[in-house]
Amino acid sequence: MALQLLLVAIFAEQARPRGEIGKPTNLPLRDLPADGSVSWRYLVAMPTRDLRNDRSNARRPAENRDEQLRSALKRLNGSRVELSRPSGRGRFAGFRLLDEGATHDTGTVAYRMPGDTDDDVFRIPIEFFTRGWVHALTDDETIAYLFLQHQIQLWPAEAREDGVPVSKSVWSMAFEAPRAHEGASRNLFRFGLIGMDRPAGRRGDGTIEDFRDISDGGGRAPGPNRFHIAPEALNRPAVATVVEGLREIIAGTPLHPYSDLDGFFPQMQRWRSSPVWPGRSDPLNVQD
């Protein structure tokens, strides 16, 4: 929930007028304002259901959403956002987004819009937000997708040819758990968001065939999986696509072969041939 809120907050911040960027949010936390605009309660999708029939003292879904929102802001406070006051009633309203590239050790630094020439900046396609992917993916899936976006934008030549190789040690920069990236990347592949080329000699779970022979000097270990991004896939409705993918997992439907991606993404070859995504809105700039 905290990651989702942070990404939505960055998206909302970059949509503000230039003179308002870095200032406390003018959106209310809970109730919809009279002018017909939106509140943070309705900007972030949260898993809630009405439990009042189960327990007499259960909270309403709106109250559950408010509590999740406050918990996420508590987690982000001091590093990614700044609450309006240290404690007390109303401290969550009017929070301020902080610069994600600063350490904030000697004081908080307000958010600033990254520029195209800034170092350590990568772009998130706007459809990641407008088509609902920011709400539909799990935290691990979101981290894996954004990390691959970063790697592919860092190595554009490899991305347009054979794909960007991402080894276990490179994945460790994004994930603390040793194998957390594997399930997340497989799900992204199932949802059609990425292409994943598996080299000969490497199994679908990442292990190596004939590992004992290779470790005894009998051969050379295969390289890591190579990844592509399928940008057109973001145009599909996220929730419906993810639900379909989860149903396939429940049904035990196998994935397409990793190494047989010709035709799996019909637009992939066209995208590889051009560094610019034609007809797309301005992407979101994010510091890594």
pLDDT digits (tens, 9 = 90+) for 85-137: 887 788 999 999 998 877 767 678 899 888 766 777 888 999 999 999 999 99
**Phi-psi category of residue 206: left, alpha or beta, with phi > 0 → left and psi -120 to 50 → alpha:** left
pLDDT band at 280 (very low <50, low <70, confident <90, very high): very low
Whether 271 contacts 231, CB under 8 Å: yes
Q: Is the model more confident about 252 or about 209?
A: 252
Burial 228-260 (b: 16+ CB within 10 A, else e): bbbbbbbebebeebbeebeeeeeeeeeeeebee
d(C-alpha 143, C-alpha 177), whole Å: 13
Q: Does 206 score more than 60 pLDDT?
A: no
Average pLDDT value for the chain: 79
Contacts of 230 (CB under 8 A, 6+ apart): 192, 193, 194, 195, 265, 267, 268, 271
Amino acid symbol at 248: E
Give residue-wise pLDDT tens across range 129-180: 999 999 999 999 999 999 999 999 888 888 887 889 898 889 999 998 878 8
Confidence at 258, pLDDT banded by 50, 70, 90: very low
Q: In whole angstroms, what is the distance from residue 1 CA to residue 76 CA?
A: 10
